[in-house]
A and B are shown apart, each in its own frame.
Chain A
Amino acid sequence: MASGHELFRVFFFHDAVIAGNAFTIAPQDQVNLPKAWQRFGDEHGTDMVLCISSALRRGIVDAREAKRYELGASNSLKGFDLSGLGQWAEAMIVSDRVVTFGG
């Protein structure tokens, strides 16, 4: 971002969806990764999407999914949306570079 690149979207897939879990507590001397991503999204206005099937499988739900599955609470972090793989496909089409970590 500091070099002037435009980031269309960050798509969190598989285990990466835990970056959107608001119930994550980091030890005091360590980075709280979900909070760090949230801050990044806020600062840059970046669209941040959690893969909905990866998230549901790992117990990460937003208010809408909590209602749908009749759960007592939701725990996705503000600034993250739960959505499908189509969001990833669309981002791949409109962007001239796709960078993947952890594949």
Chain B
Amino acid sequence: MTSLLLISRQSPYGGSYAHEALDIALSAAAFDIAVSLLFMDDGVYQLLKDQHPNHGSKNLGAVLGALPLYDINELWVESDSLVARHLQTADLAHAAQSIPGGEIAELVSRFDRVLTI
């Protein structure tokens, strides 16, 4: 089984990258690819609790909540990105494992494929 680490670095709203990254994750999972997600930079905002986007934007938090249905259970969040934005893991709606920036190279090396959006 091919494994994929999808690194999501864009904020949840104001552009379609974050949503499209999740579309890729779901498509890959449908093809029996073992998908893990790493959120870093502004991508960490995707994990925040209580998202209430304006009418016309899809609630990204709700999509993230559906990931276990697609057997996507491994979520990572870069701790340095949280600190830089005055966020803590308690602010996050989803159980993501915290990883410092210095350990990401090792994380990446565990996967067959890596894609950054």
A93 near B31 with CB under 8 A, answer yes
Task: Tell me if B's interface is mostly helix, strand, loop or mixed.
Answer: mixed
B50 touches A (CB below 8 Å): no
Interface size bucket, B side? 10 to 19
| Chain A positions within 8 Å of B27 at CB level | 84-86, 88-89
| A59 → B minimal CB distance (Å) | 15
Contacts known (A14-B17, A92-B2, A93-B2); A86 close to B31, Cβ less than 8 A: yes
User: Which residues of chain B from 22 to 38 have any CB-CB distance to chain A below 8 Å in the complex?
Assistant: 23-24, 27-28, 30-31, 33
A100 lies within 8 A of chain B by Cβ: yes
Contact with B along A70-93 (1 / 0, CB 8 A): 000000000000001110111011
Min Cβ gap B74→A in Å is 18
Q: What residues on A are CB-neighbors of B117 within 8 Å?
A: 103
Let me know if B49 is at the binding interface, CB within 8 A. Answer: no
A75 CB, nearest partner CB in chain B, Å: 21
Q: Are A54 and B20 in contact (CB under 8 A)?
A: yes
Given A84-B27, A103-B115, verify A92-B20 contact (CB < 8 Å). no
Give the residue among B27, B33, B116 with the most A Cβ atoms within 10 A.
B27
List 9 A–B pairs whose Cβ atoms lie within 8 Å, in order of A's numbering. A13-B20, A14-B16, A14-B17, A85-B23, A85-B27, A89-B31, A90-B31, A92-B2, A93-B2
Q: Residues of B with Cβ closer than 8 Å to A?
A: 2, 4, 16-17, 20, 23-24, 27-28, 30-31, 33, 113, 115-117
Which 7 residue pairs across A and B have the least CB separation, nearest first?
A85-B27, A89-B31, A103-B116, A89-B28, A89-B27, A93-B2, A103-B117
Write the residues of chain A forming the contact surface with B, with a CB cutoff of 8 angstroms: 13-14, 53-54, 57, 84-86, 88-90, 92-93, 98, 100, 103
